[in-house]
Each structure stands twice: as C-alpha cells, then as structure tokens.
Amino acid sequence: MTRQLVLWRHGRTEWNTQGRTQGQSDTELDEVGLAQAAEAAGRLAALAPTAIVSSDLKRAVDTAAELAALTDLAPTYDRRLREVDFGPREGMTAEEARRRWPDEMARRDAGEDVRFPGAETLAETADRFAAVLSDVSKTMSYGQTVVLVGHGSAMRVGACAFVGFPTEHRTRFGAFANCCWAVLADGGRGWRIETWNASSLPTAVVGDDR
C-alpha cells in the first residue's frame, strides 16, 4: 500500500496565452482554464483524495474548487504553495525581460538560478514548497492521497527538493502544462516521483522494485 501526493497545476489564464510571467500576480482562470479544471477534477476525484491543499492565489483556488465540488472536501490554503515571486518580471513576456535584463536572462536561459531584482531564487521557492510537502506527508497514513494545487515552476523545483534532487536538476524535468499533475508516492521506502505532467490516470505497474 502506498500514500500519494498529487501536485496539480492550475488551469489556463489569459496571461498563459500571452506568454506573460505570472508569478505571484493574482490572475484568474479564463474560460478554457475553468473547463480544464472541471475535466481534470473528474479524473483526480477517482483517486479518492483525503484532502486538498491549495495555493491561495485565485487561479489555484478556483482550480481546487472544481475538485472540492466533486469530493465534498474543504480545501485548505497555504501561501507557501504560491508560484515563484518573479518580482518586476511579472506581467512581462520573456522577450521583454531579455531586453531589460539581457545578462541575467542569458544566465537564466543557461540554467543558472539567477536572483532578479526584488525576486526569489528558485532554491528559495523549492525550500518553501518542499516544506509544505513535508508537513503534509507527516500527517498521512498509507492508503491516503492528498492533492496539492499549485503553479508550474514552484511545483517543479519543490518536487525535486522534496525527493532529494539538487535544485539544478530541475532542468531534467519538463514543464507542467495547464491542469496537468505529478504523483509522488511512498510505498514504505521513501518518496519518489511516479508520474510527471500527466493528464490521465496511470494503469497499475507491477515491477520487481516494489
């Protein structure tokens, strides 16, 4: 028997379609994003989650609400699940940011964890996000599933930190599409990543490593 943490990215926003950095700006789901959340919630409800924990930003709150409506679970909210604080880059496209901070963006594009003016580093985001996963995991029994609703960049670095990968290994993991999720599972020998950027439920896998 395992216990599972499901990291679920919010649905689409208008800024997503425009390629604008959202960070902790409190953007809302667009019509497509609301439909994505409703569709994905139907699949995740089949996992019979025992709790829902969400970022307090509206796009995550409204995504979580779709799953709450199907499961009769009352979400709790934790600001540590927020997206990276990108500071003055928020609202900009990547090209706009490259024109303003060419050196910093070049280093970022090469994989360096750059601190932009007034912003968090990815390592700082990873630490706070992983702390939520650690706190939640300590309350879980085997057989339970908790869904955590968050944001793509924070989910990626936070999952890596939680399972013990250095932050720089984040580039080995693809970005999350809107309303896709990762599954972290513990079958008694520690937490590991079992599913990444999924939009459908996996079939059972029987292997010799269990």
Contact 193, 159 (CB under 8 A): yes
What is the C-alpha to C-alpha distance for residues 89 and 103, in angstroms, rounded to an integer? 14
Q: Please, what sign has the CA dihedral across residues 200, 16, 151, 112?
A: positive
Amino acid at the residue 148: L
Is 10 annotated in the active site?
yes
Amino acid at the residue 172: R
The catalytically annotated residue of 83, 90, 104, 120 is 83
The catalytically annotated residue of 10, 66, 104, 151 is 10
The C-alpha torsion from 2 through 61 and 181 to 67, rounded to 10°, is: 60
What is the C-alpha to C-alpha distance for residues 38 and 157, in angstroms, rounded to an integer? 26
Question: Which residues form the catalytic set?
Answer: 10, 83
